[in-house]
Homo-oligomer: A and B are copies of this chain.
């Protein structure tokens, strides 16, 4: 079990690449298979799998395999932890702006 800070490291790192943000954006619309995710992207399927591993390790995405099909879903709790962290810092800075 990762602690809060280590989890934030992984979440912010996961969000620092455009392809991974695009995957999160797509999954925010609903679950998708790995092939669904790869299809509109300009990177190879193995690269998509690697990006998904980073997203899964960060806790932003959960995947589940049924037969030969892996389905991916967003984990909004991880998104919320990152959003809350930023919101707190913005709240502080707003009062001194």
Contacts and interface: CB of A to CB of B under 8 A. Distances in A.
Interface of A: 5, 8-10, 12-13, 15-18, 21, 24-25, 27-31, 74, 76, 79-80, 82-83, 85-94, 96-97
A54 to B, nearest CB: 12
Query: DSSP class of A's interface residues: helix, strand, loop or mixed?
Result: helix
Contact of A93 (B76, B91, B94, B97): B76
Nearest to A5: B18
Integer count of this chain's copies in the complex: 2
Contacts of A5: 18, 21
A91 B25 CA distance: 11
Contacts of A76: 90, 93-94, 97
Contacts of A25: 89, 92
A85 to B, nearest CB: 7
Contacts of A27: 93
